[in-house]
Chains A and B, each alone.
Chain A
Amino acid sequence: MTQDAWLPLLVVLSSLLTGIFIFFLGEQRRRTRSALNLAGAIGKLVLIAVMLWGVLHEHHYETRLPLLPGYDFVLRADALAMLFVSLSAGLWLFTTIYAIGYLEGSPHRSRFFGFFSLCVTATVGLALAGDLVTFVLFYEMLTLSTYPLIVHRGTGEAMHAGGVYLKYTLTGGALLLLGVVWLNHVAGSVEFAQGGILAPARQADRAVLLGIFALLIGGLGVKAALVPLHGWLPVAMVAPAPVSALLHAVAVVKAGAFGIVRTVYDVFGVELAARLGVLDPLAWLAGATIVYGSLRALAQDDLKRRLAYSTVSQVSYVMLGAGIFGPVATIGGVAHLVHQGLMKITLFFCAGNVAETLGIHRISQMDGVGRRLPWTMAAFTLTAFGMMGVPPLAGFISKWYLGLGALRAGQYWVLGVLAASSLLNAAYFLPIVYRVWFLPPKGSWQTGKTHRYFETYPTLLLPALATGLLALAAGLFASAPFSPLEWAKLIADREYR
């Protein structure tokens, strides 16, 4: 039993301690640092695997430490937590390998990997948080640990991005905190519960509940990049590629989306939320974000900026799933949490490869890149199709469930949004795909990171291929046990029981 009580804490500590060690490691200790990084990442995965096995065999994992009189620091492994934890730990491993290759020879690597580990610690902590106080703790930790990553390069542009990021996220954090304290006052508890914390406080004043909901969604929506709170995300793409990959796929944006899912299902409870009439506005906001993000993506020439706006759009699928009442849409939204993570991290890895190997940052310079980087571009093309929602890829699965859920709930406008999004996705991804495969190269490329056998550093190429394959598998084997879709079904079953 005691082991069950410590496991969630160990999962969090496995990267926290690595991070702290790495901070104090000399800049030149490259091997030790890499070994520590990988050991931390793999150790975490092993622990999570044990927990997954345990959750399946009805173990109850919960760490509870007193924090304040009346509040505990709670880490708990429920189904939703396990989904997000597995995603972040898995992608952390790939991103670590990628970052080791990406940053080779650049300064401040100990600092970078130290904060990188803290960032993952915060994400995993968020995922496992069993109550809102713990959630807020890790939410702010995430803000603080990503700031140094965004400004890592120390250029004027990076500093500016860091400043914008802080303005948005700290304000969001303050709103969230206020919402949590208020919620605690109304409900008398902040511990997540299936069916909602507020279930006993149903009789509370409607205006108060609306106020709390607005504060929570406002605070979380900043990180989730809901329009009009998305302004920091496209600016923050000046960060090094592994950071963007992590930021867009798991860490920051997903933390916000995950928090909104938690708010709807485990804080308010989906039934109370539906009765309050807050689900529809959430869905509309998500729908508007989807279309707006895609439209803005269309106009970008900078590859990473286009991907950034694409994230703004794609992450809102998760909120859309939360905003449509009914288990089917929930499945779509929750599954997209993982699907979007796998696909977007691959896209950013590929963008980083192109930039590091050939020095190309703009889409207009990408003619014929597929000849020089066939494997990278194959992964890119595959996931781009996934994003568009081409069957049987992962994005299609999410959209299918979202659309089906919307039909069941009678929300026909959602189908319009989904169709528009697919078309727009095609409009901003297909030209890239066409350019890299079918246009002849313009002039010669500068040479960056090259390798004798591979098209670029293996540490850059292999993670991209691996996550690309995972994204493919998530779509192809969607009904296999342990697939993201199956977990999402499990979660939805429990929420609507």
Chain B
Amino acid sequence: MPWMILIPLGASTLSFLLGERARWQLTAAAVAGQGWALAGLLMQVWEEGPQRHPVGGWGAPLGIDLRADGLSATMLTMTALVGGFVSVYALGCFSRDRAGGAYFWPLWWFLWAALNALFLSGDVFNLYVTLELLGLGAVALVCLGGEPGALVAGLRYLLAALLGSLAYLMGVALLYGAHGTLALDQLGLLVRPGIASTVAAALMTVGLLLKTALFPLHYWLPPAHGGAPVPVSALLSGLVVKASFYILLRLWFEVFPAALTPAWAQGLGGLGAAAIVWGAWHAFHQEKLKMLVAWSTVAQIGYLFLLFPLATSVAPAEAALAWSGGVYQALSHGLAKAAMFLAAGSMIHATGEERVESLDGISRHLPLTLFTFALAGMNLMGLPPSGGFIAKWLLLESALASGQWGWVAVLITGALLTAGYVFRVLRHAFLPPRPDARVHVLPGYMELAAFALAIGSLLLGLTATFPLTLLEVGAPFAGVRAMP
């Protein structure tokens, strides 16, 4: 388990020291190492159930306990898949931009280490530290270009991230003051409804919502995700926002299930619904392709929060459905959005223009990339056979079973709104090419890396049984089941 963190951390240091040299070899070795460590961990979790590892043999409370259950394992797998393919893409992307590459690789490996550490953390403070590391790494990546626009976006992001993590830390302080422990599982046993837990929950939730960019706290996301270099956008939209969502899941279903009242849950769901509409509306009206994809992330994040109202105050079976559906949405969106950003990046690189209007006739030059974009879009719309469809199916089933028709309407409308902006891009691809269009060639492996991610999101829809069973290992949604 510690290898999951040590390998990317080591790769970060090495890539900083080695610079330009041996980049391919280092990347290949580190990605392979990640795959190996992850495979081992998956086997263990699958066969033996949840795992624990006291770092350095110290153990809680002064040492750090790592732990992995089904949810962690699934998130780690998504990270490895997205990270691996984005790395391949980035090798091509930064082979021309040497200065950018010199900063990108150490930062990216560092970000990966932070992500893995976050998904393996078993206590609320360690989650804070990893979240902060993640935020700093992500901001640094956004500022990679160094031009004023990127700096402004980065600073905006940085301030939002810092504010969010301080609010979260205040919540941690209150929790420790009230219960004298930081471990998630112990807190879950101790927390009772009351003023202290409500204030702590409120602070932590608001802090994390700011980091997850849920409407109306999403203001920092589009410029940051839309302005960053392409591989960075893919990583931020695909993975980084999922990390704070993951902490929210852990908190609400492991620490605060007792405090998760319907009012909270419906409120979160309402914000999610607003995000779906608001994000889709803006995505539809963006001129630049990457901004469209970035706004789409705002909308898709909204879907994740529908799981709160659907999993609260309902029968356990329905809650479990909603919970799995929400997590599945996070997984499939991770893969699909990364694929979509990479595909968008390929199109922008090939045409040399950023506007959606300049994509006319791209189907002729980049069929594979267009196909990638279409597959990813299909996933976002929740059309079968994609992971997004499975997520939507589970959420719909849960909503119908518990008779929450309002959320049914949100789910259906959201899918149609998504179709609106996805097809806005696709339709340009089918128009005849402009006479003055010049197309630059792109290394084939870059297109293939994006395509592989899209195929991954499709496979998530075709082989849903394994991930869904894996998710249940260690019953991370035990909190849901305990509710009346």
Contact = CB atoms under 8 A, between A and B. Distances in A.
Question: What secondary structure prevails in chain B residues at the interface with A?
Answer: helix
A328 B215 CA distance: 58
B261 interface: no
Contacts of A68: 390, 393, 464-465, 468
Interface string A118-154: 0000000000000001001100110010011001101
Given A68-B464, A144-B378, A178-B396, A23 B371 contact: yes
Interface stretch (B6-14, B65-73, B337-345, B412-420): B412-420
B464 A166 contact: no
Interface residues of A, number: 36
B199 interface: no
A227 B99 CA distance: 62
Contact of B400 (A108, A111, A152, A185): A185
A171 B383 contact: no
A151 B392 CA distance: 29
Nearest to A184: B397
A67 interface: yes
Interface string B415-428: 11001000100110
Interface residues of B, number: 36
A43 interface: no
A24 B367 CA distance: 8
Contacts of A152: 430
Contacts of B397: 181, 184-185
B430 A151 contact: yes
Contacts of A185: 397, 400-401
A137 B465 contact: no
Contacts of A140: 383-384
A73 B361 CA distance: 36
B469 interface: yes
A67 B374 CA distance: 22
Interface string B429-444: 0111000000000000
Interface in A138-184: 140-141, 144, 147-148, 151-152, 154, 159, 162-163, 166, 170-171, 173-175, 177-178, 181-182, 184
Contacts of A136: 384
A199 to B, nearest CB: 21
B376 to A, nearest CB: 13
Contact of A67 (B412, B462, B469): B462
Contacts of B312: none
Contact of B384 (A137, A151, A175): A137
Nearest to B374: A144
B416 A111 contact: no
Nearest to B413: A174
B343 to A, nearest CB: 16
Contact of A137 (B361, B371, B385, B464): B385
Nearest to B368: A24
Contact of A69 (B368, B392, B401, B469): B469
Interface in B346-404: 361, 363-364, 367-368, 371, 374, 378, 381, 383-385, 389-390, 392-393, 396-397, 400-401
Contacts of A67: 385, 462, 464-465
B363 A69 contact: no
Contacts of A443: none
B408 interface: yes
B423 to A, nearest CB: 6
A181 B464 contact: no
Contacts of B465: 66-69
A162 B427 contact: yes
A126 to B, nearest CB: 12
A144 B363 contact: no
Given A111-B367, A174-B415, A166 B396 contact: no
A80 to B, nearest CB: 22
Contact of B367 (A23, A171, A174, A182): A23
18 contacts: A67-B385, A67-B462, A69-B465, A107-B364, A108-B364, A111-B364, A133-B393, A141-B385, A144-B374, A147-B426, A151-B430, A154-B361, A159-B427, A162-B427, A178-B396, A178-B408, A184-B397, A185-B397
